[in-house]
């Protein structure tokens, strides 16, 4: 039995905590506020509608203890700051699994703290916060994890993720796959103020196609070799599979929160500049999303 610390108690963090506990492991939420560091009841509604309640232990981020692994489910722009106090007491051998959207923060953290054991992960599950301490699992997706560096050999603690459906793989191609999907669906659902499924409608196909062609050029320059129209296939598959969902970026916009645009389309634009590539459709989309968030 492994004990996982979870940094970031949003929908995905609560989902993983529930799944781990149901699989016979322990989960502890790390809070940045001491007044929130107390055991709390959490309600979990499964995909099939079943409802269960669990008690989750909450600890402050300054309290030194040694979990078997750390799952980071914060927003991409929050991860580095949220991890700072935790890295002061966490053993370097403890696997840290970064489950951010986008790319960039993962590589920066692994490079800045090379003696820690860094992993990245991706999952396409849908989860929705229904109350302050409750979530609904709206759709089961695919789950992958893999090492970002070779600081330490695979820990048995990673097997806890296998127990809840995470497959250990070469993670970089999977991160690019998720980046491709997020870079199209997330910003378009903000600009169009629509659910994911609307992106697959033929009226939007020219823009979706252009976005996919541009990001494929960047991926190729970064060593990712995809068949023709692979990115488009990924985007349409996810859009149709999550048709009734509201993307995380659209939820952030509607709730007045900061977006993860910099780690998604912003990362693509950074890579494009490095390779001397032009991404006019993505550039225009980034500007349109920024205008939406600044209203």
pLDDT confidence bin for 34, thresholds 50/70/90: low
Nearest-angstrom CA–CA distance, 283 and 266? 9
Q: Give the CA distances from residue 45 to residues 130, 204, 276, in Å, rounded to whole numbers and listed in that order.
A: 9, 34, 48
This model's pTM is above 0.75: yes
Q: Which residues contact 16 (CB under 8 A, 6 or more apart)?
A: 4, 6, 27, 71, 73, 99, 164
* pLDDT digits 0-9 by tens, 227-254: 999 999 999 999 998 898 899 999 999 9
* pLDDT digits 0-9 by tens, 49-66: 999 998 889 999 999 999
pLDDT confidence bin for 131, thresholds 50/70/90: confident
Contact criterion met (CB below 8 Å) for 20 and 26: yes
**Residue with the larger pLDDT of the pair 295 and 260:** 260
**Beta pairing class for 69-72 and 3-7:** parallel
**Across the chain, what does the average pLDDT equal?**
93
Nearest-angstrom CA–CA distance, 220 and 238? 22
| Residues 173-178: contacts with CB under 8 Å, at least 24 apart | 173/224, 174/122, 174/144, 174/146, 175/103, 175/106, 175/120, 175/122, 176/103, 176/219, 176/222, 176/224, 177/122, 177/234, 178/101, 178/122, 178/124
Whether the predicted pLDDT of 124 surpasses 90: no
Average pLDDT over residues 104-114: 94
- Which residue among the candidates 75, 154, 174, 178 is catalytic per the annotation? 178
Name the 3-class secondary structure at 56: strand
**% pLDDT > 90, the chain:** 80
All structural domains of the chain? 3-169 (3.40.50.720), 173-294 (1.10.1040.10)
Q: Is 274 a known active-site residue?
A: no
Nearest-angstrom CA–CA distance, 12 and 71? 10
**Dihedral, CA atoms, 3, 91, 115, 25, nearest 10 degrees?**
0
Average pLDDT over residues 178-199: 97
């Amino acid at each position: 039995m492994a004990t996982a610390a979870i940094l970031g108690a949003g929908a995905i963090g609560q989902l993983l905590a529930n799944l781990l506990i149901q699989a016979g492991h322990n989960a502890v939420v790390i809070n940045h506020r001491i007044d929130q560091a107390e055991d709390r009841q959490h309600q979990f509604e499964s995909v099939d509608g079943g409802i269960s309640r669990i008690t989750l232990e909450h600890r402050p981020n300054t309290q030194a203890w040694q979990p078997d692994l750390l799952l980071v489910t914060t927003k991409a722009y929050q991860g580095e700051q949220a991890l700072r106090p935790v890295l002061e007491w966490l053993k370097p051998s403890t696997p840290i699994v970064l489950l951010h959207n986008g790319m960039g923060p993962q590589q920066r953290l692994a490079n800045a703290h090379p003696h820690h054991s860094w992993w990245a992960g991706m999952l396409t599950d849908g989860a929705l916060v229904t109350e302050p301490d409750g979530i609904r699992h709206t759709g089961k997706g695919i789950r992958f994890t893999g090492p970002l560096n070779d600081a330490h050999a695979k820990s048995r603690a990673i097997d806890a993720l296998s127990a809840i459906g995470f497959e250990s793989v070469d993670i970089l191609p999977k991160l690019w796959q998720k980046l491709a999907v997020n870079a199209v669906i997330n910003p378009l659902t903000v600009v169009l103020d629509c659910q994911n499924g609307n992106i697959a409608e033929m009226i939007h196909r020219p823009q979706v196609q252009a976005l996919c062609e541009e990001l494929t050029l960047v991926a190729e320059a970064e060593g990712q070799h995809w068949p023709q129209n692979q990115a488009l296939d990924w985007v349409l598959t996810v859009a149709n599979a999550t048709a009734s969902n509201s993307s995380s970026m659209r939820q952030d916009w509607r709730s007045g929160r900061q977006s993860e645009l910099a780690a998604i389309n912003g990362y693509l634009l950074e890579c494009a500049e490095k390779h001397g590539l032009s991404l006019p459709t993505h550039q225009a989309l980034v500007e349109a999303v920024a205008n939406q968030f600044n209203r």
